[in-house]
């Protein structure tokens, strides 16, 4: 489905620090997996910690003899501390490692930003499929968080100018670092502020707006998994009483900033598409919206464009 990104990426390698035997890693892995199963956590996360977090070489580990030596970028003691935090505090493994794979990027994350989700990756494919990789113009990612969408967009649309906005200074700091470490720092302008507010100079000029805004109804947040409700920033989750506060604002304000025919694309919570389509229709400023489903079959994105009136 996705086209290959055409812009180059620079990637930082992590240094190797520790030598262990295959037998030691197997024993550690077995114990950690038992803890995961007992705690209702997917044991595959143990392998993620080993392969991504400690740079364990898969084949050598799988095929090695018990006495064979392996290199890890983190000690087993450090991994044990991580795993205890994972089981005890339900801290997401992505925050423990400080990074997450997203499309072909490796993004730094901290509890200041939402962990970018796999389903959000499709927002870049939608742009490539509907606009083509040669699209230029000025594009914005509102509520950029870790910068995932802005970076994906900068890779996908090599001729576009990208602006990324977030009201969180901490999130923006991380998003900037992510852009720098992937060689995209000069492609994206970052702004601190609320939604379109920092983009007054771009009024009427934007080719497209992308956003994955906070959309969870406030009352549902305490009932989410503890990994989410206790660890991810509520600023990134809380969509107000009905979950639609930010979406409503984006429907109302975007026509002032988009050029005629400018693209409006948001991620939503499954089940919100009828309400969002109604808001778009009531505004009178948009073409008939299209609801796009994710791989699990849930309504996940709403796509439209401003009309030419």
Ligand X SMILES: C[S@@+](CC[C@H](N)C(=O)[O-])C[C@H]1O[C@@H](n2cnc3c(N)ncnc32)[C@H](O)[C@@H]1O
**Considering only 82-90, 159-167, 200-208, 251-259, which stretch makes contact with ligand X by CB under 6 A?**
159-167
**Cβ(161)–Cβ(186) under 8 Å?**
no
In angstroms, rounded to a whole number, what is the distance separating the alpha carbons of residues 166 and 146? 10
**Cβ(176)–Cβ(185) under 8 Å?**
yes
The residues facing 263 across adjacent strands are 208, 305
Scan for tokens 């009531």, then name that residue.
282
**Among 148, 153, 156, 292, contact with ligand X (rule: CB under 6 A):** 148
**Among residues 36 and 168, whose Cβ is nearest to ligand X?**
168
Should residue 165 be labelled a site residue for ligand X when binding is judged by CB under 6 A? yes
10 Å CB burial of residue 192 (0-12, 13-18, 19+) is middle
**Among 92, 145, 208, 262, contact with ligand X (rule: CB under 6 A):** 145
Should residue 208 be labelled a site residue for ligand X when binding is judged by CB under 6 A? no
In angstroms, rounded to a whole number, what is the distance separating the alpha carbons of residues 249 and 31? 49
In angstroms, give the least distance from the CB of 275 to ligand X. Answer: 18
Should residue 285 be labelled a site residue for ligand X when binding is judged by CB under 6 A? no
In angstroms, give the least distance from the CB of 176 to ligand X. Answer: 13
Scan for tokens 């999130």, then name that residue.
171
User: Which uninterrupted H or E stretch holds 265?
Assistant: strand 258-267
**Among residues 25 and 236, whose Cβ is nearest to ligand X?**
236
**Residues 55-114 within binding reach of ligand X (CB under 6 A):** 113-114
Residues near ligand X (CB under 6 A) are: 113-114, 116, 120, 143-146, 148-149, 165-168, 171, 194-195, 212-214, 235-236
């Amino acid at each position: 489905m996705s086209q290959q990104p055409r812009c180059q990426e620079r990637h930082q390698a992590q240094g190797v620090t520790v030598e262990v035997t295959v037998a030691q890693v197997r024993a550690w892995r077995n114990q950690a997996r038992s803890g995961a199963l007992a705690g209702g956590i997917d044991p595959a996360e143990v392998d993620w910690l080993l392969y991504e977090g400690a740079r364990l070489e898969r084949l050598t580990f799988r095929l090695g003899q018990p006495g064979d030596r392996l290199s890890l970028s983190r000690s087993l003691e450090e991994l044990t501390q991580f795993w205890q935090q994972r089981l005890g505090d339900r801290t997401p493994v992505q925050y423990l490692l400080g990074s997450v794979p997203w499309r072909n990027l490796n993004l730094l994350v901290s509890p200041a930003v939402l962990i970018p989700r796999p389903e959000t990756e499709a927002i870049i494919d939608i742009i490539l499929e509907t606009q083509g990789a040669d699209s230029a113009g000025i594009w914005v990612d509102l509520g950029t968080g870790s910068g995932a969408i802005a970076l994906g967009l900068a890779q996908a649309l090599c001729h576009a100018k990208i602006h990324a906005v977030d009201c969180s200074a901490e999130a923006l700091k991380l998003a900037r670092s992510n852009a720098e470490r992937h060689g995209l720092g000069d492609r994206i302008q970052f702004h601190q502020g609320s939604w379109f507010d920092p983009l007054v100079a771009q009024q009427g000029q934007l080719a497209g707006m992308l956003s994955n805004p906070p959309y969870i109804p406030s009352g549902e947040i305490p009932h989410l998994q503890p990994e989410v409700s206790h660890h991810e920033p509520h600023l990134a989750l809380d969509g107000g009483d009905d979950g639609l506060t930010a979406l409503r604002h984006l429907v109302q304000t975007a026509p002032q900033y988009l050029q005629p025919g400018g693209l409006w694309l948001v991620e939503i919570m499954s089940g919100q598409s009828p309400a969002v389509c109604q808001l778009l229709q009531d505004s009178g400023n948009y073409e008939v919206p299209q609801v796009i489903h994710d791989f699990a079959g849930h309504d996940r994105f709403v796509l439209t464009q401003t009309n030419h009136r």
